[in-house]
Amino acid sequence: MFRKRSRRATLPAVAGGQTTGTVAAEAPTNVHPVIDLRRIRTEYDVVEAALARRGDATAELGEVRTLDARARELGAERDGIRAQVNALSKQVGALRREGDSAGADAAQAESRALGEREKVFAAQADEINGAVRTLLLGIPNLPADDAPEGAGPADNPIVKVVGPGDDPAAWAEHQRVPHWDIGTELGILDLERAVKMSGAMFTMFRRQGATLARALCQAALDRNADAFEEVRPPTVVLTDTMVSTGHLPKFVDDAYHLERDDLWAIPTAEVPLTSLARDEILAESDLPMRLMAHTPCFRREAGSAGRDTRGLLRVHEFDKVELLAYAAPTQAAQIHAEILARAESLIADLGLTYRVLDLCAGDLGNSAARTFDIEVYAPGVDQWLEVSSVSWFADYQARRANIRYRPAEGKGTEVVHTLNGSALAVPRVWAAVVETHRQPDGSVRVPGPLLPYLRGATEIR
RNA sequence: GGAGAGGUGCCGGAGUCCGGUCGAUCGGGCCUCCCUGCUAAGGAGGUGACGGGGAAACUCGUCCGUGGGUUCAAAUCCCACCCUCUCCGCCA
């Protein structure tokens, strides 16, 4: 049932043409361009320099500038003619009422001629504007000024390490067992049968393993309920909803698509939560608006076959609790820090060792301006596992999703900022918990924050 | 899935039959001012979004569910689609 593409997908063609989908020419209707076009007009060099820090897309940017200038010329031409047509049409009505049918006929003929010219300009302007929008949708966000310099994962500065980290001396032999072995041994993870049902990279938790997975989500929700509204959104969404966050059109191949109904399985709750306020104007007093959701997440993980795919390291479906906020630009930095602190504190309280990375410009996700990754160290597999990406998107997503707010002072509307991060992603945290807290006798001690949810159990054996 | 009704501004609700004087009557809300010892009531005015131009005042364009069409001119006529409500059917 899940297919990666639809024959009737309404995606704009992606610049560069590297997407393989049968992608229709029409662009999504409710989705607006991305980087502020006005910035491209007025501060072209700044925008170009920022994009260059990603090592990305500056050619498209130049094309956007050229096309946009042309589209504006054509649009001005079109509007001028349209104004004349409107004026003449009013005259026709007035003249008819006065009984001057000769005058009316003349005005009508003139207006008709103008209308023909207008159509030409309008068609050209539409075409060019469509091309601009398509290009824009493919251009990533500008990195924040304070995002570190760098080209890829190797350049991400480690902001801090909490706990012993990957120091070999810090870990005992009984903790050096991979979670898939622990899971099988205790009967709490049944990967073989999951594969039987759904294929590779699908998982199944059983007995206290399933309880543990649910407990993780429950704990994540409960500890953030002081400030975040709990939401249970749909997990299958329309194309526009996927485009709003930046997951489409660029990453078609990473998403599951229900072809028959042209719906997409969400890769993260960020997708529906970001569209919650789509096309709305919020009051400034509503900001920051904090939301959290526990949802399944679906990822095709195209192109990662064979890489880190053992056990729970990389799976097609997993549960996650996501924290998300809409904020006024001035609030964004503080909310970013808050979401990071909340995500960190749960990991810390689970007794896991972790580190925080400040993603460099070249490693930033498509939509993000600044991202901190939390990586947990899993001693059994001896790997750092990314368990949360806490990102500030500035106005990039909000522009796509057309989410604005009305400032309390002054008039007009402003585009909001969006931020989000995982409070908890189940499989990798599950793996790290089970490996970290494995006891010499092979049982797994339940860490404190989860005790309320394990039906009285303090250990899994 | 079938039948019927409907979708208009922040909200309610006219206008659609008979196209022009309709970006849109009226009421509510909200904002400013007046009146008032305070509050309520009352009076006057104002109140959208988006794009282009402009230093600004302002101005041009677009927006009546969405997309197309007819016309000199569309909220109004035509076509397709979406959504909501009511009834029927089907069900967890």
The confidence score (pLDDT) of residue A34 equals: 63
A325: CB partners within 8 A, 6+ apart: A288, A289, A290, A291, A335, A339, A418, A419, A420
Q: What is the token pair recorded at A453?
A: 């949810």
The confidence score (pLDDT) of residue A24 equals: 30
User: Where is pLDDT greater, at A227 or A32?
Assistant: A227
| A123 CA, B26 C1': Å apart | 40
Q: Which nucleotide is nearest to A86 (CA to C1')?
A: B73
Model ipTM value: 0.88
Cα–Cα separations (whole angstroms), residue A146 to A94, A166, A274, A326, A373: 62, 28, 24, 21, 15
Given a cut of 70, whether residue A386 has pLDDT beyond it is yes
Residue listed under structure tokens 């900001």: A287
Q: Which nucleotide is nearest to A109 (CA to C1')?
A: B72
DSSP assignment of A393-427 equals: -TTHHHHHHT-EEE-SSSSS-EE-EEEEEEEEEHH
pLDDT per residue over A334-343, tens digit each?
Answer: 999 999 999 9
| A239 CA, B52 C1': Å apart | 30
Given a cut of 60, whether residue A433 has pLDDT beyond it is yes
pLDDT per residue over A146-174, tens digit each?
Answer: 999 999 999 999 999 999 999 999 999 99
User: Where is pLDDT greater, at A449 or A407?
Assistant: A449
| A403 CA, B56 C1': Å apart | 29
Q: Tell me the longest C-alpha to C-alpha distance in chain A.
A: 103
A119: CB partners within 8 A, 6+ apart: none
Given a cut of 90, whether residue A250 has pLDDT beyond it is no
Are the beta carbons of A320 and A426 closer than 8 angstroms?
yes
Cβ within 7 A of any strand B atom? A 29, 37-38, 72, 75-76, 79-80, 82-83, 85-90, 92-93, 96, 107-108, 111-112, 115, 281, 404, 411-413
Cα A416 to chain centroid, rounded:
15
| A111 CA, B16 C1': Å apart | 26
| A277 CA, B82 C1': Å apart | 20
pLDDT per residue over A436-451, tens digit each?
Answer: 999 999 999 999 999 9
Both ends of chain A: CA-CA distance in Å? 38
The confidence score (pLDDT) of residue A33 equals: 54
Q: Which nucleotide is nearest to A30 (CA to C1')?
A: B66
| A262 CA, B70 C1': Å apart | 33
Q: How confident is the model at residue A3 (pLDDT cuts 50, 70, 90)?
A: very low
Q: Which nucleotide is nearest to A404 (CA to C1')?
A: B49
Given a cut of 80, whether residue A7 has pLDDT beyond it is no
Residue listed under structure tokens 């991060």: A421
Q: Which nucleotide is nearest to A76 (CA to C1')?
A: B52
Q: How confident is the model at residue A57 (pLDDT cuts 50, 70, 90)?
A: low
Q: Which nucleotide is nearest to A69 (CA to C1')?
A: B52
| A409 CA, B55 C1': Å apart | 22
| A115 CA, B75 C1': Å apart | 22
Pairwise CA distance, residues A298 & A184, whole Å: 24
| A75 CA, B7 C1': Å apart | 31
The confidence score (pLDDT) of residue A259 equals: 84
pLDDT per residue over A280-330, tens digit each?
Answer: 888 888 899 999 999 999 999 887 766 678 899 999 999 999 999 999 999
Mean pLDDT of A188-215: 96
| A44 CA, B14 C1': Å apart | 49
Given a cut of 90, whether residue A12 has pLDDT beyond it is no
Mean pLDDT of A375-393: 97
Nearest to A244 by CA among A415, A406, A407: A415
The answer to whether the pTM exceeds 0.80 is yes
Q: Which nucleotide is nearest to A413 (CA to C1')?
A: B49
Mean pLDDT of A123-134: 90
Chain B footprint bases within 7 A of protein beta carbons: 20-21, 49-53, 60-62, 66-67, 71-73
